[in-house]
């Protein structure tokens, strides 16, 4: 359904890797709702993904940027405003990476160099982006920043290892910068804690398939799809959520507040 929720708004969308990614889905939905935006990702991720295809679909320009590099982020915000013709109205932070997870290293055996990189890429990148935008006054008054998170920031999931700490830090940055940017320019900053989702990144986590099924059985509404997450992000970019800030918003079909369900108990009984 298209009703021009984002007509006239300008944005930056990070992290679109392929058609399965949440950032990709959000870009498509934002485009359908009338937004103009630039796409960005680290050069190495761009070589692995299909971002050029998305740019063609949405009429967007691509501005490569390493989110751990302040100079490249400064260039991103400068170039984005030039391309889009004004200040930025919304930003999607969909950046996350864990070499420890890729290498299937268990939590007690984490490599600390990898650990530091996880925090740097997956959490501090948000602080850097907001710091650059704040100093440049690059985001419009009442603009919106949304970061993608996960419930492992609040609860322990053995397979999520160092990404759990990264997401906890990400959500803390959301609250802290949400306060400062809100006082400065009424810019709101929130995170969306999404259901397990069948993306390229999610599929790389050991045991993901089993956990996806577990969460689906334990959520009253079932797992939220990537498309539904994109719709939710669009509402947070829009003017309909102007007074929502500093929040971690669970978008998970009720999983975050459900103990255990009959469906799950029945599934265990069958085994």
Residue 176's CATH number: 3.40.50.720
CB 22 within 8 A of CB 229: yes
- Residue ranges of the alpha helices (H) in the chain? 22-32, 43-48, 51-58, 70-84, 99-102, 112-119, 125-136, 161-185, 200-203, 208-218, 226-237, 262-270
Query: pTM value?
Result: 0.94
Per the structure, how many domains does the chain have? 1
pLDDT at res. 264: 83
Is the confidence at residue 213, as pLDDT, over 80? yes
pLDDT at res. 265: 87
Q: What is the mean pLDDT of residues 9-31?
A: 96
pLDDT at res. 209: 76
pLDDT at res. 43: 79
pLDDT in tens, 114-136: 999 999 999 999 999 999 999 99
Give me the residues paired with residue 13 across strands. 39, 92
pLDDT at res. 266: 85
Q: Which domain holds residue 234?
A: 10-270
Residue 96 maps to a domain: yes
Residue 1 maps to a domain: no
Residue 106 maps to a domain: yes
Residue 4 maps to a domain: no
**Full 3-state SS string of 184-217:** HHCCEEEEEEECCCCCHHHHCCCCHHHHHHHHHH
pLDDT at res. 215: 92
Residue 3 maps to a domain: no
pLDDT band at 28 (very low <50, low <70, confident <90, very high): very high
pLDDT in tens, 62-106: 999 999 999 999 999 999 999 999 999 999 999 999 999 999 999
Mean pLDDT of the chain: 93
pLDDT band at 48 (very low <50, low <70, confident <90, very high): low
């Amino acid at each position: 359904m298209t009703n021009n929720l984002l007509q006239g708004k300008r944005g930056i969308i990070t992290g679109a890797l392929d058609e399965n990614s949440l950032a990709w889905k959000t870009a498509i939905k934002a485009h359908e709702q009338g937004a103009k935006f630039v796409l960005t990702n680290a050069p190495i991720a761009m070589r692995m993904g299909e971002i050029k295809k998305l740019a063609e679909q949405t009429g967007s320009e691509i501005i490569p940027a390493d989110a751990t590099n302040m100079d490249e982020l400064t260039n991103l915000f400068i170039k984005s405003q030039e391309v889009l013709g004004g200040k930025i109205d919304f930003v999607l932070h969909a950046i996350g990476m864990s070499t420890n997870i890729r290498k299937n290293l268990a939590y007690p055996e984490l490599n600390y160099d990898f650990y530091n990189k996880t925090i740097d890429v997956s959490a501090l990148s948000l602080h850097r982006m907001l710091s650059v935008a704040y100093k440049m006054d690059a985001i419009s008054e009442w603009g919106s920043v949304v970061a993608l998170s996960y419930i492992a920031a609040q609860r322990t999931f053995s397979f999520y290892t160092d990404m759990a700490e990264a997401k906890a830090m990400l959500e803390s940055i959301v609250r802290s910068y949400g306060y400062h940017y809100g006082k400065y320019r009424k810019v709101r900053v929130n995170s969306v804690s999404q259901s397990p989702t069948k993306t390229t990144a999610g599929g790389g986590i050991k045991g993901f398939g089993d956990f996806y099924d577990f969460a689906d059985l334990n959520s009253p509404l079932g797992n939220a799809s990537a498309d539904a997450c994109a719709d939710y992000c669009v509402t947070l970019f829009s003017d309909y959520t102007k007074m929502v800030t500093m929040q971690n918003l669970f978008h998970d079909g009720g999983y975050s507040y459900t103990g255990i369900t009959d469906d799950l108990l029945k599934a265990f009984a069958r085994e």
